[in-house]
């Protein structure tokens, strides 16, 4: 798929080198022509960055400048949410803990995952709490999440942050423009709908419940009463490309699925959504079973033609 990080890369190189954006883009075009276009625009931009002595790792960044795969990430932001600390046992029998934060600045917000016990104890002792402004150093971007390990640091910052982006920032993109870890909004047609698959969740927290003999357990609540839910895979097409997508129970209801058990009703419901054009918001992740990119749907909206015409008119289209 086409490099979705290119625009951000050019912005970062321009900002760090003080060269105008159009000059950076000319260098990218020249570099690609020199090697007969055998490298992507993003790859060429990374070479230009190295030639200009610009490091894409290690400098302090705004959250909307973060790119998948970045190492030595340094950001400052305000904590909007802290999940409960979760304990787990590794395959080697070692005990561990993990906690998730949502950290925001004036440009965007990002999920931050803490694995190191020295970081987690700061949460447990309330040294770092909701609305704390924190400085994060040496983190690593994995898809659209910022992970902190043994060599990372999180501490209170003396920096003041005013208004922050509390809503998830989602940009409208074409399928051909998607990149791993992207949060995006697609306008696409459903061209294929597969059989729904059942799974069980904990009634308390709605997280996955695993069957162990005659009962079910949840990582957070232990033994639990399960609730049956469904997920469904689709193929989306917007004319620029196709992508496999997955939607879960609530979003399937938004598509008009009311019965998942009756084969005749289910077949009719699946037939009714084929060829339907809608807006799909979500994120691009790796489907390990198929070893390809997959679009995980967070929200589905109908298309209001009148609104689209009004927006096009404002933009002079």
Q: Which CATH number is associated with domain 63-156?
A: 2.40.50.140
Radius of gyration over every alpha carbon of the chain, rounded to an integer in angstroms: 22
Q: Which CATH number is associated with domain 171-314?
A: 2.40.50.140
pLDDT (tens digit, 9 = 90+) per residue, 100-151? 999 999 988 999 999 999 999 999 999 999 999 999 999 998 867 899 989 9
Q: How far apart are CA 219 and CA 200, in angstroms?
A: 13
- Mean pLDDT taken over the chain: 84
pLDDT > 90: percent of the chain: 33
Output the pLDDT for position 77: 94
Does the pLDDT of residue 89 top 60, yes or no?
yes
Confidence of residue 1 (pLDDT cuts 50, 70, 90): very low
Nearest 10 degrees: Cα torsion 205, 210, 211, 216? -20
Q: Parallel, antiparallel, or unpaired: how do β-strands 183-193 and 171-172 relate?
A: parallel
Mean pLDDT of 220-242: 88
Output the pLDDT for position 56: 65
Residue whose C-alpha is closest to residue 145's, from 219, 66, 81: 66
pLDDT (tens digit, 9 = 90+) per residue, 155-201? 999 888 888 888 776 778 899 988 777 788 999 999 999 999 999 88
Ramachandran region, residue 36 (left: φ > 0; alpha: ψ -120 to 50; beta: rest): left
pLDDT (tens digit, 9 = 90+) per residue, 29-85? 888 888 776 677 777 887 888 788 776 666 788 888 887 778 888 999 999 999 988
Residue 18, C-beta contacts closer than 8 angstroms, at least 6 positions apart? none
Confidence of residue 209 (pLDDT cuts 50, 70, 90): confident
More confident residue, 131 or 285: 131
Q: How far apart are CA 237 and CA 276, in angstroms?
A: 10
Output the pLDDT for position 9: 80
Residue 29, C-beta contacts closer than 8 angstroms, at least 6 positions apart? none
Residues recorded for the chain: 317
**Location of each CATH 2.40.50.140 domain in the chain:** 63-156, 171-314
């Amino acid at each position: 798929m086409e490099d979705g990080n290119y625009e951000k890369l050019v912005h970062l190189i321009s900002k760090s080198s003080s060269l105008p954006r159009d000059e950076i883009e000319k260098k990218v075009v020249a570099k690609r022509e020199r090697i007969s276009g055998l490298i992507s625009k993003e790859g060429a931009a990374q070479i230009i960055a190295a030639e200009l002595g610009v490091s894409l790792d290690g400098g302090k960044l705004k959250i909307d400048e973060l790119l998948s795969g970045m190492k030595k990430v340094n950001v400052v932001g305000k904590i909007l949410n802290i999940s409960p600390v979760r304990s787990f046992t590794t395959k080697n029998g070692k005990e561990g803990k993990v906690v998730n934060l949502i950290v925001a600045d004036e440009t965007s917000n990002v999920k931050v995952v803490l694995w190191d016990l020295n970081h987690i104890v700061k949460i447990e002792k309330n040294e770092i709490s909701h609305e704390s402004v924190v400085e994060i150093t040496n983190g690593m971007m994995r898809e659209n999440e910022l992970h902190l390990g043994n060599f990372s640091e999180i501490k209170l910052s003396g920096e003041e942050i005013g208004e922050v982006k509390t809503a998830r920032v989602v940009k409208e993109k074409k399928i051909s423009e998607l990149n791993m870890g992207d949060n995006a909004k697609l306008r696409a047609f459903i061209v294929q709908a597969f059989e729904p698959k059942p799974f069980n969740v904990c009634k308390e927290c709605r997280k996955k419940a695993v069957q162990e003999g005659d009962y079910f357990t949840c990582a957070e609540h232990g033994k639990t009463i399960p609730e049956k839910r469904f997920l469904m895979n689709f193929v989306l097409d917007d004319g620029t490309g196709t992508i496999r997508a997955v939607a879960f129970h609530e979003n399937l209801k938004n598509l008009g699925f009311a019965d998942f058990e009756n084969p005749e009703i289910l077949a009719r419901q699946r037939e009714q959504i084929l060829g339907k054009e809608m807006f799909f918001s979500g994120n691009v992740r790796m489907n390990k079973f198929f070893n390809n990119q997959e679009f995980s749907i967070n929200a589905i909206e109908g298309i209001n033609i009148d609104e689209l015409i009004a927006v096009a008119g404002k933009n002079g289209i």
